[in-house]
Amino acid sequence: MEAVFGHLRQAIERGDYAIGDKLPSEAELCRLLEVSRPVLREALRALQTMGLTQSRTGKGTFVIATTVEEPTFGDYAAGDLEEVRRHVEIPVAGYAALRRTPEDLDRLAHLLERMERETDTTAWVAMDSLFHLTVAAAAQNPAFRRVIEEIRDALARQSSFLNELSDGRREQSDREHRAILDALVDGNQHDAVAAMAHHLDCIDASLSSIVHPGRTTTPTEGESVA
């Protein structure tokens, strides 16, 4: 899917398809690119998320931009989602470290164990957003949980997008989630805040590497992205 997405994105960006042009039909693209229809459809969804194309029911896929401005996940632009997550999820992790119950820790541990074993991306993505919702619930403040509930669909869309287009992102995310859980188990507010901040840094770096190839690298443990 990543190769198909890259091929179509490059064709649009170099002007093979102008704004307003209709892409070839799915059947034709599958034949030309020698891929299955599910793979092609994932690539087309990624192009739409990047703001390059628009799917019109019964008419096909049309080019609406030749340069990427900002991906959109459901109702939220990537930048808006990033801003909210940093202002909510980082302090939430700290509160969760201080207020979590044994039941909260059990739920998170069980969920993370399932994520680490999961091979189906769709199932993993659903558990990814549930992990963040469960951390918010562990902070024992219903307002925090409500915020994460509001952006839950966007979180899942972003997670799916990154896992499809960023090699190794899922395994790295599992390690970042494990660091968050370890800090919550220890009841260490500082480490929980740092672990969540690092997780969001890595997400932002992965997204940037897709939107602006070659510009950003994923931070290693202990680093953050400005």
Domain 72-211 = CATH 1.10.3720.10: no
CATH 1.20.120.530 positions along the chain are 72-211
> What is the pLDDT, as a whole number, of residue 135?
98
In the predicted structure, residue 195 carries a pLDDT above the cut 90: yes
What pLDDT does residue 225 have? 38
Q: Considering the chain, what percentage of its residues have pLDDT values greater than 90?
A: 72
Position 221 scores a pLDDT of: 46
Tens digit of each residue's pLDDT (9 = 90 or more) over 111-122: 999 999 999 989
Range ranked top by mean pLDDT from 69-73, 188-192, 205-209, 220-224? 188-192
Residues of the chain with CATH 1.10.10.10: 2-63
pLDDT grade for 191, boundaries at 50, 70 and 90: very high
CATH architecture of 2-63: Orthogonal Bundle (1.10)
Residues 127-171 pLDDT 10s: 999 999 999 999 999 999 999 999 999 999 999 999 988 888 999
CB 113 within 8 A of CB 224: no
Q: 201: Cβ–Cβ under 8 A, 6 or more apart, which residues?
A: 219, 223, 224, 225
Residue 49's pLDDT is 87
Which DSSP string corresponds to 86-153?
HHHHHHHHHHHHHH--HHHHHHHHHHHHHHHH---HHHHHHHHHHHHHHHHHHTT-HHHHHHHHHTHH
How many other C-beta atoms are found inside a 10 Å radius of the C-beta of residue 188? 16
Please tell me what DSSP assigns to residue 213.
T
CB 166 within 8 A of CB 211: no
88-92, 159-163, 164-168, 173-177: lowest mean pLDDT where? 164-168
Task: Read off the amino acid at residue 61.
Answer: T
The mean pLDDT value for 178-189 works out to 98
